[in-house]
Amino acid sequence: MNRTDRLYALVEELRAASPRPRSARWLAGRFEVSVRTIERDLQALQQSGVPVYAEQGRTGGYVLDRERTLPPLNITPAQATALAVGLHALGGTPFAADARDALRKVRAVMPERERAAADEFAARVQLLVSPSPSPEVSRVLRDAVSDRRVLRLVYADARGATTDRLVEPLGFLGGERWYLIAWCRLRDAVRGFRLDRIQEAHRLDETAPPRLVDLAELDTFGHEKTGLSEVVKSG
């Protein structure tokens, strides 16, 4: 068994045993390798984000948190590639880092043969990259919308002129380009801020007050809008 297969099998062994711990010595015997090799494997899994932790004590060992992992996924290479394409489309959005993490988790629980076939298929697909804000700006925007916190933005208009804005984030508008929809205190009205033009974003401690604004009713240049909840339900 090569190391990749062993890592995959190790996760499944710990998943099956959870919440009971497995000692490194027991796992070494199970996979016919040294204890040192198993410990290196477990460390590699932890560093890659797999929720494996050690329980101390005479009956301790290593435990996998089943609630934070996915079981093996039976999806085709084409389906995996479709997921990758869809998640890649979030590259210019506040969800780019989360999309990459989600894709890594999906790949990690695919059988080795299907994962290799999906990688080979995906290599034939090339995608154009849209302008995007910095990862730090994306994180601040995402968290502020989620936690309803006021933001201070440094925003550049189409001519490159910048202004400082205090805004109360309401949500995101996505499509060919992504916008932060927010109540702008400078304009005293709802405004859309193109994400790739937000040069700085600073989250304040102030909670944004409630605003009676229905995002579905906003004028968005005649485009048809679909709420994400509707997309999920239609699936």
Q: Where are the domains of the chain?
A: 3-68, 77-122, 135-234
pLDDT tens-place string over residues 31-40: 889 999 999 9
Q: What DSSP element (H or E) covers 133?
A: none
CATH 1.10.10.10 fits 3-68, yes or no: yes
Instruction: Measure the CA–CA gap between 24 and 34, rounded to whole angstroms.
Output: 9
One-letter amino acid of 155: Y
Q: Report the pLDDT value the prediction gives residue 148, as an integer from 0 to 100.
A: 93
Can you say whether the dihedral through the CA atoms of 199, 203, 209, 214 is positive or negative?
positive
Confidence of residue 214 (pLDDT cuts 50, 70, 90): low
Instruction: Measure the CA–CA gap between 202 and 189, rounded to whole angstroms.
Output: 20
Confidence of residue 76 (pLDDT cuts 50, 70, 90): confident
3-state secondary structure of 29: helix
Q: Is the preceding peptide bond at 19 cis, omega within 30 degrees of 0? A: yes
Confidence of residue 4 (pLDDT cuts 50, 70, 90): confident
Q: Report the pLDDT value the prediction gives residue 65, as an integer from 0 to 100.
A: 80
